[in-house]
Amino acid sequence: QGVGEWLQAHQLADNARLLEQMQVDNGWQLAVEMVLGEYLQAVCVDDIGRLGSYLGSLEQGNLLLVESYAEQKPAPGLLASRVRSGGRADALLAGIHAADDLSQAMRQRSSLAPHESIITRDGIWMGSNWLRVARLSSGDTGVIQRREELELLATNLDVQQQQEAQLSLELQESEDALKKLEGQRQECQLALQAATRAASSCQALWHI
């Protein structure tokens, strides 16, 4: 509540969260989520320095802010190369290598500098003298993958709604055309009736 009120007071409540500004290569969502953790909910801002003087008014809560800056292309072997975030996540992912599996990570572990670490696709994260593993419950997916799935569902829904609108328009046009044809049919029927009456009158005069 304290953080929410602080963000509201400084017109930051509607700012995007880091999670919303990221695109992660398929298969690496869990690894990125393991590393970033609660930073996925960091509030994206233009200038952290400008907000420094306001931090004294935040009396309780856990505030995470992240700036955007010029995105650089990380080396292919780094986890940051698997992420597009407009530069926002680059510093948080700095020094973290990416390994396809545990055996590759173990082979590279001995060459890691103290500030470096390596993480596998399935989220096994280790440094030169530490290791961390976190497993999801059966059937669960991480928040990054869920967000991507929701975005895909939203896109599909938008496409379906557009198709529905198009079909509704075509249905309305068909109904209008049918009404027009029905009107023409009635006009033809009235004309036929009038012609029939005229023919009957002519026949009656002929017999006279």
pLDDT at 138: 59
**Alpha carbon 86 to chain centroid, angstroms:** 16
DSSP readout, 132-183?
EE--PPTT---HHHHHHHHHHHHHHHHHHHHHHHHHHHHHHHHHHHHHHHHH
Burial of 112 (0-12, 13-18, 19+ CB in 10 A): middle
pLDDT tens track for 116-125:
999 999 999 9
- The CA distance from 148 to 26, in Å, is 10
- Provide the mean pLDDT of the chain: 87
Backbone angles phi, psi at 40, to 5 degrees: -60, -25
Record the pTM: 0.66
Provide the token pair at 63.
């505030």
Residue showing tokens 């669960």: 140
Is 90 exceeded by the pLDDT of residue 98?
yes
pLDDT tens track for 107-162:
999 999 999 999 999 999 999 999 999 876 655 667 776 777 777 777 777 888 88
Exposure string for 50-65, b = 16+ CB within 10 A, e = fewer: ebeeeeeebeeeeeeb
Q: At what angle do helices 29-36 and 143-207 cross, to 10 degrees?
A: 130
- The CA distance from 9 to 13, in Å, is 8
- The CA distance from 145 to 29, in Å, is 6
pLDDT at 1: 73
The percentage of the chain sitting over the pLDDT mark of 90, rounded to a whole number, equals 48
Burial of 124 (0-12, 13-18, 19+ CB in 10 A): buried
